[in-house]
Structure 1
């Protein structure tokens, strides 16, 4: 970790690391091997092994610990965490991209979304976006980019809170891209939001728990 008030973000292109799959497989636990075996599609299985293995390797570097010895617990809603909360982390992958966010002493959530065609954006926005988000989306000249930018922020937020799919997505509004003054759920005093420029074909977002109302935003180091 660079310093206490920082978040480190690893951005990886999965195809560039496929040669690491055997090494990643070797450090997985038996339960992780069982989960990998459930994937019918070989590419999905390979992606899971690589993502899980790279998470273990990244944490091992920061904790100076054998990657195979790292233990994960899960909260009541299934979010994994380290038993003694030495570091907080979150992972997201979409198509060929993997993001790993790691921070000290603060909850963190990350999400990345490939801007794919064929998504029923209007129907999804109508069902899952808050009123201000729907209004914003409907006025966009580039609805695809705006849609996925909003979705990434919402997903990163519920992941930071450890709620995942159990949170009603239309029950809160995220700070909207390109517009200020839109409050987030639980007030902006509690959570920080940042859209990320990772790849022109993807939308990505990072959300973190604030330690105080007036703290400076953490430095985000992308590697």
Structure 2
């Protein structure tokens, strides 16, 4: 059997909250010629830590989710008359363009403000998801390395780099087993003040830049004492 590969390149691992992960390969699949394919988002979405967190989060953050749903319904009720007004004015024989623009502008303002408000309400929920994913991410490279060593694999690539490969190259299940061993569960609620790694790195870079921008203070010269 031949396999055609696209040029692979190193990239950072990014996670998506997948609701329909890719089907895992049978546990009996064996890798071939030291090459294996691993679908990282599918492995993460199927991990025990991720799935347990997805189940627990609606209960832990029920207050925020309920508040967001209530506010979303209120915003929709506020917008509905404006939608009707805009459609009615648009279908008139001689539409008043100024009225249409004013109504459209009002709709856009309410939608934008509502979106910002909902994001603020759901910020703890989104932070929880980022916290869980980062904990899994911290163990993922080790899981891939452990699975590769056990199956004598010397190269691991993502499905995006493959044009065709049968299931004998699929190492998803092996990596998933290792990941479940390394991190059987994750903490759902982040500690106070926690920020995702990307934001922490940005803050650190900004602090370093500000520190370098400050001029070095020269020590004060010692007073000359007369004899």
TM-score above 0.5: no
Higher RCO (CA < 8 A, seq sep 6+): 2
User: Where on the TM-score scale, by shorter chain, does this alignment land: which range?
Assistant: under 0.3
Who wins on radius of gyration, i.e. which is larger?
2
TM-score by length of 2: 0.26
Q: TM-score, normalising length from structure 1?
A: 0.27
Give the number of the structure whose residues are more often helix, by fraction.
Answer: 2
